Amino acid sequence: MRLIACVALTLSLAGPLPAAETRGEGHERAAQYREWIVEMKGRDRGPFERIRWFCTDGSVLPPEPYACKEHGGGRQHGEWTDKTVQMREDNFLVGNVLIEIAPADVLTSEDWLLQQLLLEQFLIAVDDGWILRKARYYGGAFQVEAEVAAATNILEALLMDEDWLENRLLLIMEAARLLPHGTPSSALTKIRADAAALEDLDPGFEPLRNKIHSRPDISDAAMVREYASTSGDPELAETYEALAAAIETEADPARTGSRLRQLSRRASNDTLWSQLVAVSRTLQESTDAWSRVEAASHELTELRALLPSLPDSADRLVALDAMIAIAQGAFVDTQGIAPRLATAPRRQQLQWLVTLARIAYGTADLTAYEWQQLQATAKLADKDTLALDEYRDVLAALTRAPSWVQRRQALHMELAIEHYAQIEPLAREYIPDRLRSSPMLMYSAMLEALTADANALAGLRHSFFGQTVATGLRSLNPGTARGVLLSEADYLEDPRPGTPKILLVPETLADLPPVAGILTENEGNHLSHVQLLARNLGIPNVVIGPSLRASLEAYRGKPISLSSTPGGVVRLYSISEQTFAMTLSQREARPEGRIVVDLAKLDLDAAALTPVAQLRADDSGVRVGPKAAKLGELMYRYPQAVSAGLAIPFGAFRDVLDQPFGDDAGTSAFEWLRGQYAELAAIDDPAERETRRNAMLQRIRQWFLDVELDPDFVTALRDAMQETFGPESTYGVFVRSDTNVEDLPGFTGAGLNLTVPNVVGFDETLQAIRRVWASPFSERAYGWRQALMDKPEHLYAAVLLHKSVNADLSGVMVTQNVDTGSRDAVTIVINEGVGGGVEGQSAETIVAATNTGNVRLASSATAPLRRVLLDGGGSELVPTTGAARLLSDDHVADLLALVADVNTWFETDAGGEPLAADVEFGFAGDNLVLFQIRPFVENRGASANAELLAIDAPLRTLQNKSVKLAEPPAPR
């Protein structure tokens, strides 16, 4: 991705959604389509077969003058080949002709119509015409005037739709930047593409190409000409000169003023006209690059504020084009301050960061909510000096901006990108290219320098395979691990079963398999089930930026050591196979059981179905698991906030296990399981043990799915559901596993249990219950849970039937600051739809002060899809609204009202301070709904680890150091 970044991951492209969630994934014909794309690039007519008239009455006629005159009029352009038609029918929209696209279709399409239009325009720009490489010269394939008019109509329709204007302004700006509508678009993408093409022709041009990609400025023109005269290929002289001239043209300070004067002539609104005239004069008369950047930042925010008030669609498009021109000029101007970063005072650089963030807000890369948060952070730097820990906190807050910008782009584009990338992988360069053309390029360069400065003052240095680095690594969970470094694909084909793994993933996975450590390219959200599980088990989880990511390839499949301290210091280094073998032998020698089942507490004789309203917290681990017991407590205390529920106790599960297993009528399933666990414990060879384990688990799972249920149980369940929920098929229920081995003092089990969402119908509920009973015997659940139990045969699964609520918003609240452990604040994550915040979605994450209600934003909700429940059962994914803020002040107040009460519910295993609560909740309209509560269990081993504490020792002196903001950063 070749980006300058403070925390380099913040400008990386997020990984694709799971295949099942992404439209078009898994198409068997994708490979064939890629071949067709290559063919189109070489065809003189590209995606077209011939030129035809397309008449209003549906007639398709040869290209003769006035061919459609007798058919109600029509349009002339290229006719698609059969291959193009087939691809388009499969929702790969290539060879687009804008005149054939109705603006209303763009507004309402669920097939990413606009996004695919933009991706095609992007590929045409960066890949020498892409499928139009030769067809650009095919006369009549496009009618330029008609295409410009069509693009203008599309853009004006988007701008006049208030929902699009409020929630999709960034996407509209992308459309205005790429669709040909008579306004010069950015030449930066073409300059980069031309530089890359030169490198292909002349490999010696690579250093200059890299410079132009990462930090383009006016000096590049002279450098290109110097290279051409001293080292270049004489046959490419005209190509070098064309690139140099394009750079000069784009970098000319007068260029922006000239564009704005042209645009002002199209403005009919007096306020818009006067603003454009004034800013064009300011930008043209200023001789200082940074003064122009500062003026541009303020003008962009003013135009963004003015945009919704303009009554005329043409004026809105003028304003949008002006914003794009101003932003492009500011981008070029920012590159000129790079040499000043080493000597400019810290305060000035912090002010520069604020200015660049203001530009990002003006161009809709940042939301108003995000911009307000950054402004509030920047005010903390108004003093002459800051304590070093305050300085680091300010920079940590400012570090979020590049990630916010990247995720806002991904919100609108990532689904279409991953779909389109099946036929053209270059589509994945779309967002990186946009970030390289945004204020975040220089923002990240400044932030990298300031972060390195703060880390140097703190004595904080990461170790990356023998290399000392100041940035590019960030700890999410502390801990230590040794294991073989594997990617997701490697994990599935790993030749060493039973060996500890350190997994490298795009972001923390919702169904993460058992691992010793995690390296992620994106952090996901703080309170997903997997993050809580990793935190509980002391599994180190570290974000690694793209600047270091490539270096990891040399270590894939090899044993490494990963340490992440509570203070955030990360150490990665390789270890020998001999050392790793010693680690494995020591691991095998340790007692494996860490979860002790309290058998005396269990009441397996209580098998009667129980309404949740009759349960209380004390029933946890006795008749039912903590989900049902704590839900009963919630219902007792907050009856209006909890929907109806019915529990199937442990005793019913044990009754099923006492049935004969297989062909041996004298052996129960429980006895068979106990024998299997004993045999597994006696196997020394890890590979053999894993093979036997998987076969055992598969057999018991299938047995549960096929088991005949006692007729008396079935009748009692039908009657109880009728009484608790009402007539059959008038409601849905979430069928949830609720074991006796979760939410324990040393083990949370978050995310290991199956939930079958929104089941409608009695027979469907019975089958869902069977699936839930079978779910503790998945390989993943076994690896995380039974493998840690002293008596794994005594795992019992109650079932909670919880009436469905089609929540508009849903999420998780932990009643402490998850990052610091302070009880003065709570951490909340939330998404649109059902099941938000628990599966690793990009969620709105806030920290809210319990005494004042003040909110600090950590990340915005940028998941492109939300889950909604269907009346007939199940759910579907639909697009999110893209709203800038989900939790209102009233929502936050409702949640904070719970905190004082629920924070007293849980005690530590030593009977000390009550544990924080982990609450799953939702909002249906403005009504708070509660789904679950559990103790927030953290692993204390990392915070007490002597080795990790010794690494953190320098950080504990931060309160004694101060930073003078009037001085430049420390030399690097």
* pLDDT (tens digit per residue) in 471-496: 778 887 888 888 889 887 776 666 56
Give the residues of the chain that fall short of pLDDT 50.
1-25, 184-185, 588-593
Any alpha helices (H) in 142-236, and if so which ranges?
A: 144-160, 162-167, 169-178, 188-201, 206-214, 219-230
State whether the Cα torsion 207-210-214-217 is positive or negative: positive
Q: Please, are residues 754 and 767 in contact by the beta-carbon 8 Å criterion?
A: no
What's the pLDDT at 589? 43
Q: What is the C-alpha separation between 932 and 635, in angstroms, rounded? A: 10
What's the pLDDT at 942? 57
What's the pLDDT at 596? 74
Q: What is the pLDDT of residues 238-251, one digit of tens each?
A: 888 888 888 777 66
What's the whole-model pTM score?
Answer: 0.81
Q: Please, are residues 336 and 215 in contact by the beta-carbon 8 Å criterion?
A: no
What's the pLDDT at 1? 22
Q: What is the C-alpha separation between 619 and 603, in angstroms, rounded? A: 10
What's the pLDDT at 381? 75
Write phi, then psi, for 722 (nearest 5 degrees): -60, -45
Q: Please, are residues 101 and 108 in contact by the beta-carbon 8 Å criterion?
A: no
Dihedral of the alpha carbons of 124, 126, 131, 133, in degrees to the nearest 10 = 90
Facing residues of 756 across strands? 735
What's the pLDDT at 296? 94
Residue type, 525: N
Q: Please, are residues 444 and 546 in contact by the beta-carbon 8 Å criterion?
A: no
